[in-house]
Amino acid sequence: MKLAILSRNRHSYSTSRLKAAAQARGHRVLVLDTLRFSIGLEHHDPDLFYGGKRLSHYDAVIPRIGASITFYGLAVLRQFEQMGVYCANESIALSRSRDKLRSMQILSRYDVGIPATAFVRQKSDVLPAIRRLGGAPVVIKVLEGTQGVGVILAETEKMAEAIIETLQSARQNVLLQKFIQESRGRDIRAIVVGDRVVAAMRRKAVGDEFRSNVHRGGTTEPVILDQEYERTAIRASQIMGLRIAGVDMLESDTGPQVMEINSSPGLEGIERATGIDVADAILEDIEQRVLFPDVDLHHRLRLTAGFGVSEFTVHNMPGLENKKLRDTHLAEENIHVMSITRHDAVIPNPRGDEEVHPGDTLLCYGQLSSLRALMPEKPKRRKKNGRKNITDPGIGK
């Protein structure tokens, strides 16, 4: 394979390790400076130039895009995608992970623990939000901070209000987060590659610092994750759409709480702490996946008028419940069930003899007119025990 590592610093630990791992596996690899690319767009022909010359063919790209050049780096990565080159992490997933609020919004829908988080704009909304999080102390974060910069612990409500006001007046968007006291100064960093955790460490802050980032002087130790932490790290990366991720989790009394998912995780800390060759695991994953560059399914499907994808949960649907797929009206109407989600497990590409259970979530592809008939009424939000819950969808068929 011919590989490119997009990196501004060819001598950094992570870049050199990835390069060495690629070479050790017999690949050609070049480190290319993300900012030296230019993008060319012409009818039917997305193109890339490097140092003024048209870029030759590459099989795969490993993005190592620093926070300070996210915008340009993402544009370059997208261009590789448009040209059909496999990217070790997709641009869309990378851009999701760069924004802490966006990450939490995506994760909050799924069965992955996160610290309760709030985002407000009006001054008058700050105090009620803090109270909903359980009161001070509370953590305040700028949305695109890294390495612990822009993460502040406010001990009192008054302090929190003052900090938020100051940051907002400096045009910074900030989120508020419940302070997980029992995990103070400690967190877990798990490196997920593909669908497994390849290495994990615990980071501990020094002195009375509450942030455990290595850049804030935090120390590291290897850990073997228990199942719940491992599952959470893998799920979080999958939900974000990342194949390579550093998942940061707080160790709360109620289990793992994902704080952040890094799409270009540093390799130095984790390899030194665990002695595991993470770079090699990344290269192995790329070898496995290189023939499958990302297909933006929704986009492709939109090009076929009248067809689409929809998902629904089976509930009071006698036409479906406890029947084999081939005996349901789905088959008759030529609706293809792409996957069934049952509890935590996903059954991909289910066969005709697979039985549909109440509570299953079906991901379907078919004619929109047929799918429409299946869709349940929109669930209503209703106050329950002082909290808003989504009630069970009442389903027509």
Binding-site ranges for ligand ADP (CB under 6 A):
115, 139, 141, 145-149, 151, 177-180, 183, 187, 210-213, 248, 250, 259-260
Tokens 């006291």 correspond to: 181
Please answer whether residues 101 and 57 qualify as being in contact, where contact means their C-beta atoms are separated by less than 8 angstroms: no
Q: Please return the burial class of 134, using the count of CB atoms within 10 Å of its CB with bins 0-12, 13-18 and 19+.
A: exposed
In this chain, which of 81, 90, 260, 280 binds Mg ion, going by CB under 5 A?
260
Residue 89's region, left for phi above 0, alpha for psi from -120 to 50, else beta, is beta
Minimum CB separation of residue 103 from Mg ion in Å reads 11
Nearer of residues 55 and 245 to ligand ADP, judged by Cβ: 245
The option from ligand ADP, Mg ion, none interacting with 160 (CB < 5 to 8 A, set by class) reads none
Question: Which of ligand ADP, Mg ion, none does residue 117 bind to, with CB < 5 to 8 Å depending on kind?
Answer: none
Closer by beta carbon to ligand ADP, 248 or else 360: 248
Residue 179 interaction partner, one of ligand ADP, Mg ion, none, beta carbon < 5-8 Å per kind: ligand ADP
Q: How far is the CB of 253 from ligand ADP (least distance, A)?
A: 12
Q: Which stretch binds Mg ion (CB under 5 A): 54-62, 137-145, 241-249, 320-328?
A: 241-249
Q: In what order do the strands lie in the sheet with 361-367?
A: 307-313, 361-367, 336-342, 345-348
Residue type, 52: G
Q: Which does 274 bind (CB under 5 to 8 A by kind): Mg ion, ligand ADP, none?
A: none
Residue 148 Cβ vs ligand ADP, minimum distance, rounded to whole Å: 4
CB count within 10 Å of CB 288 equals 11
Q: How far is the CB of 104 from ligand ADP (least distance, A)?
A: 10
The reply to whether omega before 379 is within 30° of 0 (cis) is no
Identify which of residues 60 and 93 has a Cβ nearer to Mg ion in the complex. Answer: 93
Q: Decide whether 79 or 103 has the Cβ nearer to Mg ion.
A: 103
390 phi and psi angles, rounded to 5 deg: -90, 120
User: Smaller CB distance to ligand ADP: residue 205 or 362?
Assistant: 205
Cβ contact 138:119 at 8 Å: no
Retrieve residue 288's tokens. 């496995």
Is there binding between residue 248 and Mg ion (CB under 5 A)? yes
Closer residue to ligand ADP (CB): 139 or 281: 139
Q: Which residues of 165-201 are buried (b: 16+ CB within 10 A; e: fewer)?
A: eebeeeebebbbbbbbeebbebbbbbbbbbeebbbbb
Q: Which residues of the chain form contacts with Mg ion (CB under 5 A)?
A: 248, 260
